[in-house]
A = this chain, B = another copy of it.
């Protein structure tokens, strides 16, 4: 799984074969098929592995104040991207977004699996945005559910553009902070 996660990020899903994954993991092909029925099943497990890392990162930023938690998201995404940049020596994009872009039209099981993870993430963001709205922290007229979708989309977009432009990922959290600030009222947290 670790070898597959690395190779998928370094290149792409389609460009990496099972033989290569086995060689990188020093595993036999029989052993692979003992654990996974196909490369698609492996990819689902890789998505779950990234999802666990993602959830652990979110938990690190635990704070009772929903506005603080919202404001911490750009840095959290930036921290994840920095780790990838250190590992690969360049921006490699979002592991979920990469697979979504490559496989959504050809592997409906994997598409639905990633979509399910994103739905949970968006619902979590929407909950925070609604709590922030109740505290008067959202600019007037901003719909918290829409903001959750915008934030998820902006995260995907800026991460993809950093990968495309082959620039340092340090700009990702800055861009997300800037994007976010216009939706929030001035006070960091109005109780």
Q: Which residues of B contact A88 (CB under 8 A)?
A: 105
Docked-complex contact A166 and B12, CB < 8 angstroms: no
Q: Which residues of B contact A187 (CB under 8 A)?
A: none
A142 on the interface (CB 8 Å rule)? Answer: yes
Looking at the assembled complex, report how far the CB atom of A7 sits from the nearest CB atom of chain B, in whole angstroms: 11
With contact pairs A150-B175, A154-B153 given, residues A182 and B142 touching in the complex (Cβ less than 8 Å): yes
Contact with B along A30-70 (1 / 0, CB 8 A): 00000000000000000000000000000000000000000
Interface size class of A (residues with CB under 8 A): 35 or more
A127 on the interface (CB 8 Å rule)? Answer: no
Enumerate A158-190 residues with CB–CB distance to B below 8 Å: 158, 160-161, 163-166, 175, 178-179, 182-183
With contact pairs A146-B178, A150-B154, A154-B150 given, residues A103 and B12 touching in the complex (Cβ less than 8 Å): yes
- Residue pairs across A and B with Cβ atoms less than 8 A apart, 25 shown, are A10-B105, A11-B105, A12-B103, A14-B14, A90-B105, A98-B101, A100-B160, A100-B163, A100-B164, A101-B102, A104-B164, A111-B164, A115-B166, A118-B161, A118-B164, A119-B165, A143-B178, A146-B179, A149-B175, A153-B160, A153-B161, A153-B179, A155-B157, A157-B157, A157-B160
